Amino acid sequence: MTTSLPVPVVPAPTPAAPPATALPPAHAAALSVWPASARLVSRGDVSVAGVSLVETAERFGTPVYLLDEGEVRERCRTYTRAFPDTDVVYAAKAFLCRALLHWVQEEGLGLDVCSAGELELAVTTGFPPERIVLHGNAKSPDDLSAALRLGVGRIVIDSAWEIARLATLVPAGARQKVLVRVVPGVSAGSHVAVRTGTDDQKFGLSLTDGSAQHAVARILAQPGLELTGLHCHIGSQITTVKPYLTALRRVVGLLAQIRQQHGVVLPELDLGGGHAVAYRPGESALDIPSFGSRIRRELATSCAAAGLPVPRLTIEPGRALVGPAGVALYRVLAVKRTGNRVFVAVDGGMSDNPRPALYGVRYAPRLIGRRSTAGPCTATVVGRHCEAGDVLAPDVEMPGDVRPGDLVAVPVAGAYHLSMASSYNAVGRPPVVAVHEGRARLLVRRESLADINSRDLGL
């Protein structure tokens, strides 16, 4: 049963976007990483889901984030088509709000959360707790208590300490279903900070040193814990299927070992997420239909070779569902030419997108709202914060006459921007606006100075 969501709707309808024009090849390539609904319209504007970005900036102010509802839903359907008879679980850490919960629930997905806060938001929105998986390398007693109180479907055990801690919290006579997060010894991911499949990082229990096997034995000895399967997540922004196949074979090997040592056949296997998207034209993304067919085929083959029944498969896409559905809009505040460098400073920055500072990620920003006849220049788009590292996009092509007041749009902004945002320099976090079928509605309001100040109780 779907619960109505208390999502605020801005009363005034968005004016119809100017008619879209046929895209010349150069423009089509430039919009290749944008939502599929993106169209070049008059006066240098771009529309997403039939909504003008220029009019959106005027109506809601900047910075502002747009989220294309149709793009999110179609990406959910791509996964459910590629993975039939599989639990597709949205990794909420990528971005979470009540409307998005509603969309993914309607599309038949489960949910992966990492804290009591994410869990409470989901359950109070009406998301079925039995379809929720709780993750985290250092879950607090409050996290575990909330999971038990709210009836979360699965808890992923990430350390030996967590076994005893959780077992003491399970009420007498009850049983909590758990998975063990296994480190399969596979290195994958676009940056060292997002590689989680090897023993030199904080997540999971190692296959190599026997930690995973020891955890399995301890859980099986706990009457309040029901071990239902194994979990592994090897990294993020992974573009090829090969490391997943290697990890799958090693985890199936552990399933066979568990059956041999304990006489237990575990019915579930969770392969995590980490599926790459393209942030700039020409970059690679993971081919989800091909990925789905190869993973399911390899799972059947590996289990047959081990004499095991095929377990129920779970996957956990996050970025791949919402990243390409988001667009961030900024207003240019200043343009500075220093020596051979051009700096374009906008009214957002690392407070709403810390990813360039954390991972060195690269974007393809675009000037919108006017047609420039000036030749291009190489510019660095920077934020407004008092940090030399507050750089949103280094060395990108911009019109040579870029000036204060211009609008800059950054595509592929739906994941790990606002979910990692802060109020650094007492700058409030931007609002989130859903666009769908020619209309815009406010999902998350702008964080005001009053919001920030209200937490300070004074002397």
Run of H or E including 377: strand 376-382
Residue 12's nearest CA partner among 335, 378, 442 is 442
- The alpha carbon torsion through 296, 299, 301, 303 (nearest 10 deg) reads -150
Measured CA distances, 55 to 31, 51, 64 (Å): 19, 8, 12
Q: Which residues of 134-167 are buried (b: 16+ CB within 10 A; e: fewer)?
A: bbbeebeeebbebbbebebbbbbbbbeebbeebb
Residue 251's nearest CA partner among 185, 317, 297 is 185
Helices (H), 113-174: 116-125, 141-150, 160-169
229 bridge partner residues: 179, 268
Count Cβ atoms within 10 A of the Cβ of residue 275 and give its class: 0-12 exposed, 13-18 middle, 19 or more buried.
buried
344 bridge partner residues: 335, 381
Structure tokens at 98: 């009540």
Question: Identity (one letter) of the amino acid at 326?
Answer: G
Residue 231's nearest CA partner among 198, 182, 163 is 182
Structure tokens at 344: 């374009």
Question: Identity (one letter) of the amino acid at 317?
Answer: P
Count Cβ atoms within 10 A of the Cβ of residue 96 and give its class: 0-12 exposed, 13-18 middle, 19 or more buried.
buried
| DSSP state for residue 13 in the 8-state scheme | P
- The alpha carbon torsion through 192, 194, 198, 201 (nearest 10 deg) reads 90
| CA pair distance 409, 20, nearest whole angstrom | 18
386 is catalytic: yes
| CA pair distance 99, 435, nearest whole angstrom | 12
Residues acting as catalytic residues: 386
